[in-house]
């Protein structure tokens, strides 16, 4: 679905003011389509041949690495105002996806054809700077994941994971299951459940059905 020009301009002004450049906005209005995905849906599967780059307008996305045995590892999260640079890279070098993009909360995505996204790199310095800064941001997040695995205990990793989720979602209430946390942190579900109960006793969070409310850092 094409996006009405006034709504596109308002959304860009709110989420990505650095892209609020009239010629670029006109191009975006011509080429971008909008799609809605319910929580739990997969936007990109392992092995997909990608032709579009997703820009997150609303909702929360997790990017997951899938190995040859089908095992999954969390790479990073994507929230409003972020573009999937992994999809951008796959499109640019015409490589099939080596990850899965899964919706955590209902999400609205703007799908950008790669030929337009590529052309804008040379036409608009605003777009080029946005793409480069997005790469840098996700690289730092991946380094943070490595540091977490190397230096933090499970309790610290779990709290760090939950707080990052809450920041991305923009609220203290995180809707997620113990099984999902177990998969993302690569630890047993039982260990996650025990640690969550300990953190609740310590007054760090409140547990609900498929939701966790963070109280104090």
Count of all residues that appear for the chain in the document = 217
Do 95 and 78 belong together in one domain? Answer: yes
Q: Which residue has the higher pLDDT, 183 or 133?
A: 133
Q: Is the pLDDT of residue 91 over 60?
A: yes
Cα 8 to Cα 205: distance, rounded to the nearest angstrom: 37
Q: Is 201 exposed, middle or buried (0-12, 13-18, 19+ CB in 10 A)?
A: exposed
Residues 128 and 157 in one domain: no
CA gap 59, 157 in Å, rounded: 23
What is the spatial distance between Cα 33 and Cα 10, in angstroms, rounded to a whole number? 16
Indicate whether 112 and 77 sit together in one domain. yes
Domain count of the chain? 2
Indicate left, alpha or beta for 211 from its phi (over 0: left) and psi (-120 to 50: alpha). Answer: beta
Tell which of 109, 143, 177 closes a domain: 143
Statement to judge: residues 117 and 69 lie in one domain: yes
Q: Are residues 108 and 157 in the same domain?
A: no
- Single residue among 117, 143, 169 that ends a domain in this structure: 143
Domain harbouring 88, CATH code? 2.60.120.10
Spell out the residues 6+ positions from residue 196 whose beta carbon is closer than 8 angstroms to its own. Answer: 158, 178, 181, 205, 207, 212
Q: Same domain, yes or no, for 83 and 166?
A: no
The verdict on 139 and 101 lying in the same domain is: yes
Percentage of residues in the chain having pLDDT higher than 90: 58
- Check: CB of residue 103 under 8 Å from CB of residue 94: no
Write the pLDDT tens digit of every residue in 1-54: 788 989 999 999 999 999 999 999 999 999 999 999 999 999 999 889 999 999
Domain that holds residue 206: 152-214
Strands 33-37 and 211-214 come out as unpaired
Among 93, 111, 143, the domain boundary falls at 143
Statement: residue 111 has pLDDT above 90: yes
Q: Is the pLDDT reported for residue 217 higher than 60?
A: no
Same domain, yes or no: 126 and 196: no
Residue corresponding to tokens 């190995």: 67
């Amino acid at each position: 679905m094409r996006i009405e020009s006034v709504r596109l301009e308002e959304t860009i002004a709110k989420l990505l003011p650095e892209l609020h450049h009239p010629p670029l906005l006109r191009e975006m209005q011509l080429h971008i389509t909008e799609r809605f995905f319910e929580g739990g849906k997969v936007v990109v599967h392992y092995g997909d041949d990608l032709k579009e780059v997703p820009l997150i307008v609303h909702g929360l996305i997790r990017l997951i690495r899938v190995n040859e045995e089908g095992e999954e590892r969390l790479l990073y999260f994507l929230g409003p105002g972020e573009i999937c640079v992994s999809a951008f890279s796959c499109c640019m070098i015409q490589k099939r996806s080596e990850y899965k993009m899964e919706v955590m909360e209902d999400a609205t995505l703007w799908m950008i054809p790669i030929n337009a996204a590529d052309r804008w790199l040379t036409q608009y310095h605003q777009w080029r700077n946005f793409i480069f800064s997005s790469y840098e941001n996700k690289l730092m997040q991946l380094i943070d994941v490595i540091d977490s695995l190397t230096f933090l205990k499970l309790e610290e990793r779990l709290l760090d994971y939950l707080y990052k989720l809450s920041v991305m979602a923009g609220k203290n209430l995180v809707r997620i299951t113990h099984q999902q946390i177990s998969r993302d942190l690569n630890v047993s579900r039982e260990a996650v459940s025990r640690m969550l109960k300990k953190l609740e006793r310590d007054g760090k969070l409140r547990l609900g059905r498929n939701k966790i409310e963070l109280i104090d850092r």
